[in-house]
Amino acid sequence: MSADVQLISDGQGLAVIGSPTAVDLFLAAERLASKNLNMPRLASALQVGAQVAELAPEIMAMKGRWVELTKDTKHLVAGLKSATSGVRTGVATAGKSSGQMSNLVGFAKDSASQLANNPAVLSGAAGLMAQLAMQQTMDEITDYLATIDAKLDDVLRAQEDAVLADMIGVGFDIDEAMTLREHGGRVNEVTWSKVQGASATIARTQAYALRQFDALAEKLERQTSVGDLAEKAKKAEAKVQDWLAVLARCFQLQDAIAVLELDRVLEVAPEDLDGHRIGLKAVRQKRLDTIVQTTEGLLARMDAAAGTANAKVLLNPLASPAIVRAREHVTVAVTDFHGRLGLESDGRQSVEARAWTSAATEFRDKMLETGAEGVDVSGRLVNETFDMAKSVTGKLGGLAGRAARWRGNGDEAAETAE
């Protein structure tokens, strides 16, 4: 059999198609992790037309693997030619490293290249690749929800809002449909009927969760005193992870619905598959943009609050550091969430809480710059301020120690402190 493999890329992933031996050799040479590209599923779906049906036996005999495109694998698609379906295609020789690929933008003379010349096959392969890319994100979200200790279940149980209750219900239906798809190999009319109206429910829940982020940001923006900022920042810190969990579940369910849709279109209207796939990609990107805009808006308000806290730490030695800590926790949570959705971090810098003694020292130095006429007054104020710095630092340590004992000993510790 030919040693050439057909490469097809949709910008998110790379399909490697050819004889089982050739595909394995190529993946081994490039040291690529891959997932199964369901060639029998593609073959069965394309038997609707006589011309395409002739290729079905060849497709069944081939092996297809999907590779996620990352910074380390994007070089593999650099020389591929654009096809009419919106994907890029080319051929490489199995067993050679990427620097030794032969005839990369040409077409081999075996059946693999003939498949790439067929618009229906390219369209079907692109549809399967889109499904695998979305399932990759769904797996990331599953891991994310497990990492944050089932926060989603806690949030949903604590809510009485009908919007979240509706999402729980459609979530069960969608999970069931994905299980049936996995075992049955297709999405039949009965399975599809259970989920075809679920998109609206998920969209309402997502909008509800996004409004919670907007509300947290608005409350921070309205505050002027450091004490009030500290209170709202702590509430934001406590709530952000909860609503990120809801958003993650919404995105996971929306991707699942898209996977089911592509299966359904591939089966009942394969001629519409390209347009539907491209449309789903655009809608998905719009959802991502909305999520980024909303969460970044909250982070911007947290940044501003942290800046205000550090600027006013001299008069607010307890509240100011609490605001900065809340900002750091929220930033880490949102950045992790973005990563699970495949979004690159904007490189937001960490912010450290400004030390009270540092602020007091700076204040003293500025006062000394007032000149000879203010030496006596400023000198007294400076010394008093610096003495206060030492005193407050000691008190803060004492408070921290007592707080730890209270937490450890409960009411008994509180009585002892009194």
- Residue 337, pLDDT > 70, answer yes
Task: Give me Rg for the CA atoms of the chain.
Answer: 29
pLDDT value of residue 417: 39
What pLDDT is attached to residue 91? Answer: 82
- More reliable by pLDDT, 343 or 44: 343
Is residue 385 classed exposed, middle or buried when 0-12, 13-18 and 19+ CB atoms within 10 A define those classes? middle
Of all residues in the chain, what percent carry a pLDDT higher than 90? 26
Q: What is the pLDDT of residues 127-157, one digit of tens each?
A: 889 999 999 999 999 898 888 765 666 666 6
Tokens representing residue 310 in the block: 């550090």
Residue 296's pLDDT is 92
Work out the average pLDDT over 268-282: 89
Amino acid residing at 123? S
The predicted model gives 228-250 an average pLDDT of: 90
**Rounded distance, CA 365 to CA 377, Å?**
14
- pLDDT value for 224: 78
End-to-end Cα, the chain, rounded Å: 86
Instruction: Inform me whether the pLDDT recorded for 279 exceeds 90.
Output: yes
Q: Out of 47-61, 141-155, 283-297, 298-312, which region has the weakest mean confidence (pLDDT)?
A: 47-61
CB 177 within 8 A of CB 261: no
More confident residue, 280 or 417: 280
Helix spans in 185-318 (H): 189-195, 198-222, 226-268, 273-311
CB 155 within 8 A of CB 187: no
pLDDT at 147: 81
Element (H, E) at 364: helix 356-368
User: pLDDT class for 5, splitting at 50, 70, 90?
Assistant: confident
Amino acid at 393: T
Band of pLDDT at residue 122, cut at 50, 70 and 90: confident
> What's the pLDDT tens digit per position in 31-51?
889 999 888 877 776 655 444
pLDDT at 350: 55
The pLDDT of 318-336, averaged and rounded, is 86
Domain ranges within the chain, ordered by starting residue: 4-118, 148-340, 356-417
Sort 197 into a burial class: Cβ within 10 Å, 0-12 / 13-18 / 19+.
Answer: exposed
pLDDT tens digit string along 369-389? 565 444 444 444 445 444 544
Average the pLDDT over 222-251 and give the result.
Answer: 89
